[in-house]
């Protein structure tokens, strides 16, 4: 299976929206409620929300397996050498095939020399937490972040240093 990457543009907003809905409904029902999934998808992945993120310097990259879009990530540089990985999602039917590891190598390439890469991940998302451990991340702290609408994100803040 060939894994390739392409920086997303505003022309890809609908594709990102579709991938997000597919992947979130595959992955999150065992972790958060259906109502929270719907709310978070609406808040983060409506076309307007994705456009606002792109305009605020979140750089989306599409992940392809054999020329089929299967995931995406969004990365931004918060200050020189300090990056935040906002989103990193791959179709769950394709987990454990090396796509995530290849995508993470692309993320490192996108960052170049870095002092720190940070991310938030749901504490009950054990598969993702373990994946990030394998990529060299450590847990900096755990916190419940208010997401609005009566929902919280019960997350680990994880960091990777060179």
Domain range for 20 is: 3-160
At 16-63, the pLDDT tens digits run 999 999 999 999 999 999 999 999 999 999 999 999 999 999 999 999
What's 130's domain CATH number?
A: 3.40.630.30
SS3 41: helix
Q: Are 134 and 146 in contact (CB under 8 A)?
A: no
Position 65 scores a pLDDT of 95
Q: Structural domain tally of the chain?
A: 1
Crossing angle of the two packed helices 34-45 and 13-27, in degrees rounded to 10: 160
The pTM of this model reads 0.94
* Under-50 pLDDT residues of the chain: none
Position 30 scores a pLDDT of 92
């Amino acid at each position: 299976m060939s894994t390739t990457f392409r920086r997303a543009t505003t022309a890809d907003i609908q594709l990102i929206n579709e991938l997000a809905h597919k992947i979130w409904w595959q992955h999150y029902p065992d972790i958060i409620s259906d109502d929270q999934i719907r709310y978070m998808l609406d808040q983060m992945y409506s076309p307007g929300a994705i456009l606002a993120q792109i305009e605020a310097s979140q750089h989306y990259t599409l992940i392809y397996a054999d020329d089929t879009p299967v995931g995406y990530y969004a990365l931004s540089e918060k200050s020189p050498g300090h990056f935040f990985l906002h989103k990193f999602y791959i179709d769950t039917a394709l987990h454990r095939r090396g796509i995530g590891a290849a995508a993470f190598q692309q993320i490192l390439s996108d960052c170049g020399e870095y002092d720190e890469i940070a991310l938030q991940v749901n504490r009950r998302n054990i598969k993702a937490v373990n994946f990030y451990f394998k990529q060299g991340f450590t847990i900096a702290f755990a916190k419940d972040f208010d997401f609005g609408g009566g929902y919280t994100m019960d997350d680990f803040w994880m960091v990777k240093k060179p």
